[in-house]
Amino acid sequence: MEDDNFMNESAVIVNGSGYFYYDYNFNYEETQLEKALKWFETAFMVPIGVLGNILILCVLSKKVYWKSSTAVFLASLAVSDILILVSGFYNIIVPPNISKIHCKINLSIWISSSQTSSCILATVALERAFSVMQPLKARAVLTPKKAKLLVIFIFLCVYGLNAIMFAKYEFDEDDGFEKMYCPTGEPTGETIAGSIVHVYPWVDFCIGFALPFIVIIVCSIIIIIKIKPDKVLRQKMESKQISSVSITLLSANACFIVTLAPSRIYNIMFPIPTLGDEQFTAFLVLSMVSQINAAVNFFVYFFNATKFRTGVYDLFCCR
């Protein structure tokens, strides 16, 4: 019994912010709730989310969407969401302490994909706001070619930034990152030093939530104001289509805020899992809730966009 207590105490480390956390790869016994959460994510959320995003790609690959910049952004969002779900699933089934390099690569993909999805959704919000404000100019300005270039730019910037962050702490021999995210050995009980504990959570918070959140809120207000019922405009088919796409985007924006806000705020308050079953369980619960955002877009599109719903029906019916 004394040995068990010693081992459990040894599994507790202090980070540079003064908070304690578990190295849950070191003699940490998961609670029933934590096991249930991981089982739910593995058996339901990941398969459903990946399948839903694949269906989104199948529908948006049709020729009718080739001239739509929105379709380019939403297809890119689906790809990024698949990467979030797959890398998150990989983190569950493969322990991060298998290899430091292995862990960093997978975590880089997971974190970068999450940030990329947020940036793409904010970009779609900007596009929709411009479309409802300047519907005649939108088609000339927002072309699919420009949308593809912008998506490539976002991917390169986000993944490049995270690659630099990950590599920097390797070359500078700052092992704070390793102890924070990729424990490869037994805990020593020493304080995690280095700027990674203080800097990177804020970088992730700003890119993955705060800045996209501000853009999405402002653009959503503009869209809501502009798509108020107007009898003259509602008679035009183009206006109806713009409203349908905008309403779908507003639903996706609401899902983004509801699912990501709790996790992002918690992570900035406690950069890594903290001591105590309730706090650690809260970390896992909020992390899982944040991944719901990557799994539900198919249902958001299906129930809000008639054109998308018809496209899904066409995938399974010969017409």
| Integer Cα distance of 101 and 170 in angstroms | 10
pLDDT, tens digit, for every residue of 69-95?
989 999 999 999 999 999 888 877 766
pLDDT, tens digit, for every residue of 36-48?
877 888 888 999 9
Q: In this structure, are residues 103 and 182 in contact, taking their beta carbons and an 8 Å threshold?
A: yes
Range 229-248 average pLDDT: 56
Residue 267: φ, ψ to 5°? -65, -30
Contacts of 231 (CB under 8 A, 6+ apart): none
Q: Answer whether residue 249 shows pLDDT above 70.
A: yes
Question: Please, which pLDDT band fits residue 1 given cuts at 50, 70 and 90?
Answer: very low
Range 164-190 average pLDDT: 51
| Integer Cα distance of 186 and 215 in angstroms | 43
pLDDT, tens digit, for every residue of 294-308?
999 999 999 988 889
Least confident of 56-60, 285-289, 310-314: 285-289
Q: Answer whether residue 51 shows pLDDT above 70.
A: yes
Range 227-238 average pLDDT: 51
Q: In this structure, are residues 296 and 253 in contact, taking their beta carbons and an 8 Å threshold?
A: no
Q: Answer whether residue 180 shows pLDDT above 90.
A: no
What is the structure's pLDDT at 64?
81
Question: Please, which pLDDT band fits residue 198 given cuts at 50, 70 and 90?
Answer: low
Q: Is 192 exposed, middle or buried (0-12, 13-18, 19+ CB in 10 A)?
A: buried
| Integer Cα distance of 281 and 303 in angstroms | 32
Q: How far is CA 220 from CA 52, 114, 161, 310, in A?
A: 25, 21, 28, 26
Contacts of 319 (CB under 8 A, 6+ apart): none
Contacts of 253 (CB under 8 A, 6+ apart): 121, 125, 216, 220
Residue 81: φ, ψ to 5°? -65, -35
Q: Answer whether residue 112 shows pLDDT above 70.
A: yes
The two tokens of residue 201 are 């959570």
For the ranges 19-23, 26-30, 136-140, 217-221, the one whose mean pLDDT is highest: 217-221
What is the structure's pLDDT at 23?
44
pTM, rounded to two decimals: 0.79
Sorted by where each starts, the structural domains of the chain and their CATH numbers stand as 2-316 (1.20.1070.10)
Least confident of 81-90, 134-143, 196-205, 243-252: 196-205
Range 169-193 average pLDDT: 46
What is the structure's pLDDT at 119?
95
Residue 229: φ, ψ to 5°? -55, 125
Q: Answer whether residue 227 shows pLDDT above 80.
A: no
**Which DSSP string corresponds to 1-21?**
-HHHHHHHHHTEEE-TTS-EE
Q: In this structure, are residues 126 and 215 in contact, taking their beta carbons and an 8 Å threshold?
A: yes
